[in-house]
């Protein structure tokens, strides 16, 4: 059984720093992009001097980012690519890093917030935000100023790996097609020419839950 001792827990100015948060000494490096041949011979985006860890299990190319968790100052709203992907894939709590899978009647808790307020989490909604365990969800809700403005929580039966959030490149020129990140599905042909930042999951079997109900649950 998992315990909270599995992952180091960091605090900054009295606040728990989420497992997926980016730290000051974590930086993206930008190896030169190239066309490479995937197994099977199809062309895809790659790095000059590529390493096996530059791709996920599906062969999607990811940004290269060092790991220096706990060093310097945390950048709360920004996510570390590798830890985000790990949390999305294994359904780890985005705050404590321990499994958040199936914590209530086989379902997993998701919590989303926006300063502008937000609607309830919808069936089939896609997100780069990994789940939370209920205690961390309540702690986040009470400590995060941004979340307090507009919160939506839901129990979710399935979080399916849908695709990535990243920058697609032109397959002939290796020029970025967008300035900002866009979502690209795994079954979209552009995925082979996309530099991914984060994994996107699709939420199925969504049942909204109020913070009061969550408090009673914990």
Name the one range near Zn ion by CB under 5 A: 119-127, 135-143, 151-159, 196-204: 135-143
Task: Output the smallest distance, CB 97 to Zn ion, in A.
Answer: 7
Under rule CB under 5 A, which residues in 43-102 are in contact with Zn ion? Answer: 93, 95-96
Q: Which of 136, 159, 203, 206 binds Zn ion (CB under 5 A)?
A: 136
By the 10 Å C-beta count (0-12 exposed, 13-18 middle, 19+ buried), 77 is classed as: exposed
Q: Does 111 bind Zn ion (CB under 5 A)?
A: no
Helix, strand or coil, per DSSP, at residue 191: helix
Out of 112, 133, 153, 156, the only residue in the binding site for Zn ion (CB under 5 A) is 133
The count of residues interacting with Zn ion (CB under 5 A) is 5
Which stretches of the chain are assigned E, i.e. beta strand?
10-12, 15-17, 21-23, 28-29, 33-37, 43-47, 64-65, 74-79, 108-113, 126-127, 151-168, 182-185, 194-209
CB of 127 to Zn ion, least distance (A): 17
Nearer to Zn ion, 115 or 218 (CB): 218
| Spatial distance between the Cα atoms of 102 and 104, rounded to a whole number of angstroms | 6
Of residues 11 through 50, those in contact with Zn ion by CB under 5 A are none
CB closer to Zn ion, 9 vs 181: 9
Residues that bind Zn ion (CB under 5 A): 93, 95-96, 133, 136
């Amino acid at each position: 059984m998992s315990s909270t001792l599995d992952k180091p827990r960091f605090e900054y100015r009295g606040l728990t720093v989420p497992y997926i948060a980016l730290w000051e000494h974590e930086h993206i490096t930008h190896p030169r992009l190239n066309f490479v041949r995937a197994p099977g011979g199809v062309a895809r985006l790659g790095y000059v001097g590529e390493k096996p860890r530059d791709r996920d299990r599906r062969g999607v190319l990811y940004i290269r980012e060092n790991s220096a968790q706990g060093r310097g100052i945390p950048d709360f709203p920004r996510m570390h690519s590798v830890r985000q992907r790990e949390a999305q894939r294994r359904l780890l709590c985005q705050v404590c890093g321990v499994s958040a899978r199936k914590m209530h009647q086989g379902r997993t808790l998701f919590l989303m917030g926006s300063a502008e307020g937000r609607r309830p989490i919808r069936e089939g909604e896609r997100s780069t935000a990994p789940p939370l365990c209920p205690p961390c969800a309540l702690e986040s809700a009470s400590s995060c100023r941004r979340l307090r403005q507009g919160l939506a929580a839901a129990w979710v039966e399935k979080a399916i790996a849908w695709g990535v959030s990243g920058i697609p490149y032109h397959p002939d020129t290796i020029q970025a097609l967008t300035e900002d990140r866009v979502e690209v599905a795994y079954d979209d042909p552009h995925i082979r020419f996309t530099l991914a930042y984060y994994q996107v999951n699709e939420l199925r079997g969504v049942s909204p839950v109020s913070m009061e109900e969550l408090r009673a649950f914990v």
